[in-house]
Amino acid sequence: MGYTHMKVIATRPSNLEALDRIKEAGHELVVGRDPGSLSREPFTEGELMELAKDADVLLVGQDLMTRPLMEQATKLKLIIVPFIGTDKIDKESATDVGVMVANSPTPENFLSVAEVTIAQMLNLVKQTKHKESELRAGRWGASVVRGGYLFGKTVGIIGAGYIGSTVMKLLQGFDCTILYHDVLEKPELEEKYGAKRASLDEILSEADIVTVHVPLLDSTRHFIGRRELALMKPSAILINTSRGPTVDQAALLEALKEHKIWGAGLDVFEEEPASGDNPLFALDNIVVSGHVAGPTRESFPRRAEFAFANIRRAINGEEAINIVTAT
C-alpha cells in the first residue's frame, strides 16, 4: 500500500534532476541547501537533525547519519545515497531503529571512478604533473625526469567489485598483467581479462601499480599500513580512489617521504574535507584530487534517476532495492 503524502529531504541540490517528480506526485520535497549553492561543506549534526526530524526519506551526500539523528527522526523509513559508499551512515543503528539504507550503484559511477584511476596511473607514470610545472616555470626541455610506460606493467587490483573490474576492462588496451585480491574468487574476470587471483602480500610485492577499490568497513580500515607499504617495490605506485581511511595516511606519508614507494595517486583522504596544510600536499611524488572521481555531468542525471526510482518504490509502499542494511 502506497503513501498519500511523504516528505523527502535532499541534503544537496545536485541530486534534483529527477526529484521534482516527487512534488508532481503530490509529495513534499525539501532541499537542505539552496539550489544555486555549490558548497560541499558537511552539515552539522544539529542541522541534519532539524532537516530530518519529520522526514520520511533522506537523500544524503557525505553527511554523517548517527544513531541520535535516526532515533529522533521517528517517521524516517529510508536513507539513500546517490552513489555506492554508505560508510557515513551508522547502519547498525539504522537496523536497530527500523530504517532502510540503500545505495545507487550505477554503471556511470563505476566508469567515472575507473577512468580517474587510469588517469592517475598515467599522470604518475608519464610524470605529467612534473613536466607541466617545469614548463610553467619557463624551463622548456629542462626536465631530466623521463616518463615510463603503463603498457606491460603488472597492476594489482585490491577489490574486484564493480569499480575494480571496470579498471580491469580499461587496462586491456595496455597489455598489463593483472592481479586481483578479493574475498571471492571470480573466474569470470579471469576468463574475460586474464586476471589472476593472488594474496594481498603477493600483489603488494609483485605489482608495479597497486590500486585500492574496497568499501570502508572495520575490516578494511588501514587495510594498507606500514607493513603493507614495506612489501611494495621502491618503484611502485599506490592509487586510492575508494575511501581515505582504507590507507593509513601517516604510514603513506612516511613511505613517500622516505621513497619506500615511488609515488601515489589519491582522490580520498583519511580526514575529509582535507585541509590545505595536509603534509601530503607538500610532496612532489603524488597526484591528488578532492573526492571527485565519481561525479560527472553524465553521471549525475542517471544517479538521480536511480535514487528517484528507489524513493518512488518507498512512496508506493514497495520494497526498495540495493538495500545495504536490513530492517
Q: Which residues are catalytic?
A: 243, 272, 291
Residues 6 or more apart whose Cβ sits within 8 Å of residue 281: 274, 288
Closest CA to 309 of 102, 170, 164, 120: 102
Rounded to 5°, the CA angle 217-237-296 comes to: 65
Q: Which grid cell is 76?
A: 524516517
Using DSSP, state whether 184 is helix, strand or coil: coil
Angle at 278 between CA 158 and CA 212, to 5 degrees: 5
| Residues with Cβ within 8 Å of residue 122, at least 6 apart in sequence | 128, 150
Cβ atoms of 80 and 320 within 8 Å: the answer is yes
Tell me how long the chain is. 327
Structural contact between residues 272 and 296, judged by C-beta atoms closer than 8 angstroms:
no
CB 211 within 8 A of CB 157: yes
Residue 16 CA to residue 308 CA, distance in Å, equals: 9
Q: For residue 308, which amino acid is it?
A: F
